[in-house]
Amino acid sequence: MKSRLLAALCALLAGAAAAQEIRPQEQARLDRFERVAGTSLLQAMGGGAAGDVDALTAALAGTPQVAFDPGLDGDWRCRTMKLGGIAPLTVYSDFDCRITVLIDGLAFEKLTGSQRTKGKITLRDGRAVYLGVGYVSSESPCPTPICRRILRGPRRATRMWRCLNGSATPARG
């Protein structure tokens, strides 16, 4: 009985590990992260609306904290900020999200709004990296990594987490 349970647990863990492998195109995004983040930040600060730049400045302020603190577990109010690209800076309304502390990282899920995301934040090469799927609220999350998002960034202060390359910033409501 114990051996069957151990075998099932090993299979489950192997499946979870395989689901979190970074594909080559995701690794390429991480490899050019600093360059793209710098360019996007310059576009946002130089061309964003004053109120949006203020919100971005507040999100970026502070000293990085421990990324995987058990105190992060629970329901949060979150905000997404998109930097660079077609619009220099877009700051979206707050939404409900949930962070669940896991043995090997954090599960993150956007709970409200028309666009959702669900995935996992793990430590990779000394940085917190989010791998998740984006989907529309009327649909189920994509079961394969084809539609995965990849975000990276440090936690700031005790009330927010900043993820760059998508800039999801949860803050206790």
pLDDT tens-digit map of 83-120: 988 999 999 999 999 999 999 999 999 999 999 989 99
Residue from 83, 86, 88, 92 nearest 37 by CA: 83
Q: Residue 142: its pLDDT value, please?
A: 63
Closest listed residue to residue 147, CA positions, set 109, 119, 107, 110: 119
Could you tell me which of 41, 61, 39 has the C-alpha nearest to residue 162? 61
- Can you give the pLDDT at residue 13? 34
> How high is the pLDDT of residue 24?
85
- Residue 119 CB neighbour total at 10 angstroms: 25
Characterise 62 by phi-psi region: left (phi > 0), alpha (psi -120 to 50), beta (else). Answer: left
Q: Residue 111: what pLDDT?
A: 95
Measured in Å, how far apart are the chain's first and last C-alpha atoms? Answer: 46
pLDDT given at position 9:
31
pLDDT score, position 132: 85
CA-based nearest residue to 170, from 81, 77, 100, 58 = 77
d(CA 135, CA 126): 28
Residue 150: per-residue pLDDT = 47
| Regions of the chain short of the pLDDT cut 50 | 1-19, 145-150, 152, 155-161, 165-173
Give the pLDDT confidence score for residue 143 in this predicted structure.
60
pTM of the model: 0.69
